[in-house]
Amino acid sequence: MAKLAGKVAVITGGGSGIGRAISEMFASEGAKVHILDLNPDGATETASVIKQAGGACELHTVNVSKQEEVLAAVQQIGKIDILVNNAGIAHVGNVERCAEADFDRVYQVNVKGAYNALYAVIPVMKAHGGGAILNLASIASLVGIADRFAYSMSKGAIYAMSMSIARDFMHDNIRSNSISPARVHTPFVDGFISKNYPGQEEEMFEKLSKSQPIGRMAKPTEIAKLALFLCSDDAAFITGNDYPIDGGFIKLNN
């Protein structure tokens, strides 16, 4: 029996990396997937893979930072059982190298984008008897990572918002959890390596791989498997928690 049969899932940032893997896995488990992504090309690729495999997927070209765009998409969708707040951007630098515009950009997408989706989706879930929310936090929510000032700010906020939602809507049958991956090999990681470490791409990739004691980065599908469990009814007793998925990064880096 498919684990998400009959469920409707909204996945932000489903056009690439982790969001793509989650979209494909949720669709293969019977969910109708709605991707909210800024980049229609990536989202179209995800949708065509899903449709070729016999799954159901609809695209909504949305900038999650814009509340009116998120509200309009959610209104079109109707019933929603699952929300995955996944859209996110990176910034490398300590506070001295984080200009106001960098800070604002990361805040707008990673923090306000998640708030906008929560603001739009919670009333729909309440009206339909509940739902499951999964927020993409990070190891940067939990430990000090060098040169990730703005990014850590945003992922700390995700961690805290996820718990706040879990507390406030428990009696509406809404569960909210977060996952905290270490490095996952996606265009997000390749992008910030090539932008911030030009000419040192291979060395930096190796360094970031080895920073997980397990010796490599995660694969997006490994993150999607945990997301599937947490968003399925198998996790009905789990709410208000964060799950590191980190190749030993937090506890074994000694």
Ligand X SMILES: NC(=O)c1ccc[n+]([C@@H]2O[C@H](COP(=O)([O-])OP(=O)(O)OC[C@H]3O[C@@H](n4cnc5c(N)ncnc54)[C@H](O)[C@@H]3O)[C@@H](O)[C@H]2O)c1
Q: What is the three-class DSSP state of 8?
A: strand
Catalytic residue among 119, 151, 197, 243: 151
Minimum Å distance from CB 68 to ligand X?
Answer: 13
Minimum Å distance from CB 218 to ligand X?
Answer: 7
Minimum Å distance from CB 25 to ligand X?
Answer: 13
Segments of 62-198 assigned E as strands: 82-85, 131-136, 174-181
Which of 147, 139, 141 has its CA nearest to residue 246? 139
Candidates 7, 9, 11, 13: give the one binding ligand X (CB under 6 A). 13
247 scored as a contact of ligand X (CB under 6 A): no
Q: Which stretch binds ligand X (CB under 6 A): 72-80, 81-89, 98-106, 197-205?
A: 81-89
Q: Which stretch binds ligand X (CB under 6 A): 15-23, 24-32, 126-134, 164-172?
A: 15-23
* Residue given tokens 């989202």 in the structure block: 43
Minimum Å distance from CB 224 to ligand X?
Answer: 10
244 scored as a contact of ligand X (CB under 6 A): no
- The answer to whether 151 is a known catalytic residue is yes
86 scored as a contact of ligand X (CB under 6 A): yes
Alpha-carbon distance of 37 to 13, in angstroms, equals 5
* Interaction residues for ligand X, span 29-68 (CB under 6 A): 37-39, 42, 62-65
* Chain centre distance of CA 117: 12
Q: Specify whether the CB–CB gap between 184 and 18 falls below 8 A.
A: yes
Task: Sort 221 into a burial class: Cβ within 10 Å, 0-12 / 13-18 / 19+.
Answer: middle
Which of 90, 85, 83 has its CA nearest to residue 183? 90
Q: Which residues of the shown chain bind ligand X in the complex (CB under 6 A)?
A: 12-13, 15-19, 37-39, 42, 62-65, 86-89, 109, 113, 136, 138, 181, 183-184, 186-189
Q: Looking at the annotation, which residues are catalytic?
A: 151
